[in-house]
Structure 1
Amino acid sequence: MADIKFEGWLGHNPESANGKMEWGSFEPKKWTEDDIDIEISHCGICGSDIHVLRSGWFPTNYPCCVGHEIVGKAVRVGSNVKHVKIGDRVGVGAQARTCQQPDCPECSSGYPTYCARLMVNTYDCQFPNNEGKSYGGYANYNRTNQQFVVQIPEGLSSADAAPMLCGGVTVYSPLRRNGCGPGKTVGIVGVGGLGHFGVMFAKAMGADKVVGISRKNAKRDDVLKLGADEYIATDEDKDWEKTHKRSLDLIISTISSANMPLTKYLTLLKRGGEFVQVGAADGGAFPDVNIFTLLTSGAKISGSSTGAPWEIKEMLQLAADKKIKTWVEERPLKEANQAIIDMEEGKARYRYVLVNENFGKHDAATKL
């Protein structure tokens, strides 16, 4: 194939998070026969992108091209790659490579997203063996290791699939791991980009009751339309923690605030219930908890990362089979700077997806 030019929206300093990314070229990782080049048609905007652009979690290695909800067409495929061929519609989520060693407890057990030996994220990380730096999907092309590249099933549009590759699987994984299904009651804290997936997936997985939990009543109608059975507005519903005490088996928290009323959330759990935190505030801040709330209920607090490739494939197939429709607004790639500003201001209902003007025009719900 002809040489392709890797270009995208680059952040050069923390101010880039304020809509000051600059379009430019970059050098992708060194090509190996384990790699795939993807012509990007769609890329979701994730809150993680903004955290990284402003060095919110850790110091960012600028220049940085963010975006880890990538969908597009495979245009170059290494000889060691067996599950993808040229022309396939594929996706990449938040991770690009782990150690992949047979003696790794995480990689060998099917949970590589928890690998402690090597974690190469889809952007702002270094590949091993001096292969170079990872760059994300606010761009025209992406080059990545085959490990986390998955096929997009027919019947699922690229715009719907893109946000599922991080936002969707981040809630799907803990739902599945904690047995979401018939007989379970589930609460989703924070009904935004991640949380709206939480409501839809919990219902699709057969939970007896799904409760959306947010601060204000403004999202009540939307959340009920998404499939929730109940809604709690913590700033406006009086004594909500008493009214709904010990009513939930599982709570997934998608918000990233050190000021959330954690102890009150824990009172909603049944004996032995679990509170799973998936949102991450800048600096990793987390609220204090009253230990007696845990001791008297046997409740558990845990964290969850994004999902493994097999979980992503399983989730995408569920979405295709159940005809789950992402609440998404498509934005032209050229408007990426304004889109991240709007995202930070909470205007998304409930997810933005950047559409490459050159490659995303003729997308269908089948292969590109």
Structure 2
Amino acid sequence: MSTDYKFEGWMGDDVSSSEGKMVWREFQPKAWEETDVDIKVTHSGICGSDLHTLRSGWGATEYPCVVGHEIVGVAVRVGSEAEGGIKVGDIVGVGAQSDACLGRDGPCSTCNAGLPQYCKSGVITYNSRHRNKDKSYGGYALYHRAPSHFVVKIPKGVEPEYAAPLMCGGITVYSPLKFHNTGPGKKVGIVGVGGLGHFAVLFAKAFGADEVVGISRRENKRADAINLGCDDYIATSDDADWVKKNSERFDLIISTVSSDDMPFNEYVALLKHEGTLVQVGAPEAPIKLNPMSLIYGRKNVTGSGIGSPDEIRDMLQLAADKQIKPWVEKRPMKDANQAIVDLEAGKPRFRYVLVNDS
């Protein structure tokens, strides 16, 4: 069945595309299956992962590549076997994952546990291969095609410009905050008050944590952190005694930074006895960890990925119920190249969302 619309988007052809040299052109989406949904993209969040991928920072990218995995739009075609009760005209979203084995390829402990985001056969929304071996293309585009299992309805009360960055940035921190029982009685530190970290502040407050503290390098982020809802702020480069002053302060730390020269062992020193540091930022090179920083205090260091479609639904409903509004700046889709250059320069406060004029 042919469609009356074309799949066109911002194509990265090589490493230079990360410098604002993407090219707009038509691409071929995955072959249509009756389990799929076609989405007319209205909003596409810009995530740091887009830059890592465009410049092959996490390994060789399979060019050409259309990035963007914080996708919101209107369902314009829904397969006869689609899941989730999605109908043409629904406002829907897709995050960083667009497929997994879901037990179809044999026993899978993570899919069977309702955690398809950790499936070894999982498919990333771009720069990956669908189960039928077709390439996956992302949301810097006019249209997006995705398997319906990973398409979620956007609830009323969440505007599309807010929903888009929640699909990856939001769920990346919501999932570990929920898993580690953030709520009353917990003191939480958020490393990196930026594109990821500001979501963590908003959700930690929504979960009712006793204390939420922003942690970043410079004092000039303090006002933003307090305006987001932080109870306190730590500037690691502007206070020589920051570790001593805050030793054993936190039950949980969410580290959103992707720098490989972060003071990781010092962050661990801020944990209480049996406290946990969750790393969600993904550096392009290894970081150093002194095991002794864990041994004394029986402290825990772990990681967390994105979230399952069910977790995304729960997160979106919480955002609707609590009227959570991420700090976003809308940019025209036609200005995507300049937007990623500005992201690399650290200009957004705190997320850019590309908007299709139509």
Q: Please indicate the TM-score interval, normalised by the length of the shorter structure.
A: over 0.9
Counterparts of 1:86-235 in structure 2, within 5 Å, are: 86-101=88-103, 103-116=107-120, 118-130=121-133, 132-235=134-237
> Contact between 1:216 and 1:234, CA under 8 Å: does it hold in 2?
yes
1:146 & 1:58 partners in 2: Cα distance? 28
For normalisation by structure 1, the TM-score amounts to 0.95
Alignment correspondent of 1:314: 314
Alignment correspondent of 1:13: 14
> Contact between 2:66 and 2:140, CA under 8 Å: does it hold in 1?
yes
Alignment correspondent of 1:36: 37
Shift of 1:54: 0.7
Three-state SS of the structure 2 residue aligned to 1:202 is helix
| Aligned residue type for 1:204 | A
Shift of 1:3: 2.3
Shift of 1:97: 0.2
Three-state SS of the structure 2 residue aligned to 1:193 is coil
Alignment correspondent of 2:351: 351
Alignment correspondent of 2:337: 337
Alignment correspondent of 1:295: 295
Shift of 1:286: 3.0
2:286 & 2:314 partners in 1: Cα distance? 31
Does the alignment pair 1:323 with 2:323? yes
> Contact between 2:42 and 2:72, CA under 8 Å: does it hold in 1?
yes
| Aligned residue type for 1:201 | F
For normalisation by structure 2, the TM-score amounts to 0.97
Consecutive aligned runs of 4 or more in structure 1 exceeding 3 Å deviation: none
Cα shift readout 1:79-132 (whole Å, capped 9, x = no counterpart) = 11142111000000000000010731101111111012x1111011111234x1
| Aligned residue type for 2:98 | A
1:176 & 1:128 partners in 2: Cα distance? 30
Q: How many residues align?
A: 354
Q: Any stretches of 5+ residues in structure 1 without a counterpart?
A: 359-368
1:19 & 1:74 partners in 2: Cα distance? 29
Alignment correspondent of 1:273: 275
Equivalent pairs: percent with the same residue? 57
> Contact between 1:257 and 1:286, CA under 8 Å: does it hold in 2?
no
> Contact between 1:331 and 1:352, CA under 8 Å: does it hold in 2?
yes
Shift of 1:2: 4.2
2:291 & 2:3 partners in 1: Cα distance? 62
Alignment correspondent of 2:80: 79
| Aligned residue type for 1:62 | Y
Distance 1:293 1:82, change over 3 A: closer
- CA RMSD after TM alignment: 1.0
